[in-house]
Amino acid sequence: MRIPLPAILCAAAALAGAAAPSRAQEPPAPYAVTGDAIAASLTGAPGDPVRGRAIALSRQTGLCILCHSGPFPEERFQGTLAPDMSGAGSRWSEGQLRLRIVDASRLNPDTIMPPYYRLEGLSRVAPAFAGKTLLSAAQIEDVVAFLMTLR
């Protein structure tokens, strides 16, 4: 049975709404986009790849494997809508990965990837989640650190 893309996106949005505890409370830290990257860490410190892996594979926090697949044989039902995470650390720099997670629409306005660290320009945000990013700056850095291990 084929599930239409709008249904998948609605399910992903519903799951994102279920991930309320992981939503960041602090206002986003300022960052500079240079070309196709955010070169500087959002926190000023490197992330933790172990925590980043947990976030990326969580179906309540990062939700990455809803759309992406990767070298995670223990995870069933990985996504096929987006690029495989295998080799991400070889294909992109830390800064390029950071921008893709923060706000992939800066690179592709038609992307279906959610902006994990953006507040402005969003529509149809549930009142309970207004003014909150999907991930904190530290969580973004953790995911970037994890993706850099995938070479």
The 10 Å Cβ neighbour count of residue 37 is 18
Contacts of 63 (CB under 8 A, 6+ apart): 12, 15, 16, 19
Domain count of the chain?
A: 1
The Cα–Cα gap between 83 and 147 comes to 13
Q: What is the pLDDT of residues 98-130, one digit of tens each?
A: 999 999 999 999 999 999 999 999 988 888 788
Question: Domain containing 55: what range?
Answer: 5-149
Q: Which residue has the tokens 């070309």?
A: 35
pLDDT band at 52 (very low <50, low <70, confident <90, very high): very high
Task: Say which CATH number the domain at 78 has.
Answer: 1.10.760.10
pLDDT at 16 over 50: no
Which three-class secondary structure state does DSSP give residue 144? helix
Using alpha carbons, select from 108, 9, 97, 113 the residue that is nearest to residue 47: 97
Q: What is the pLDDT of residues 140-149, one digit of tens each?
A: 999 999 999 9
Q: Specify the DSSP class assigned to residue 37.
A: B
**Whole-number pLDDT of residue 24:** 60
The 10 Å Cβ neighbour count of residue 62 is 27
pLDDT at 11 over 50: no
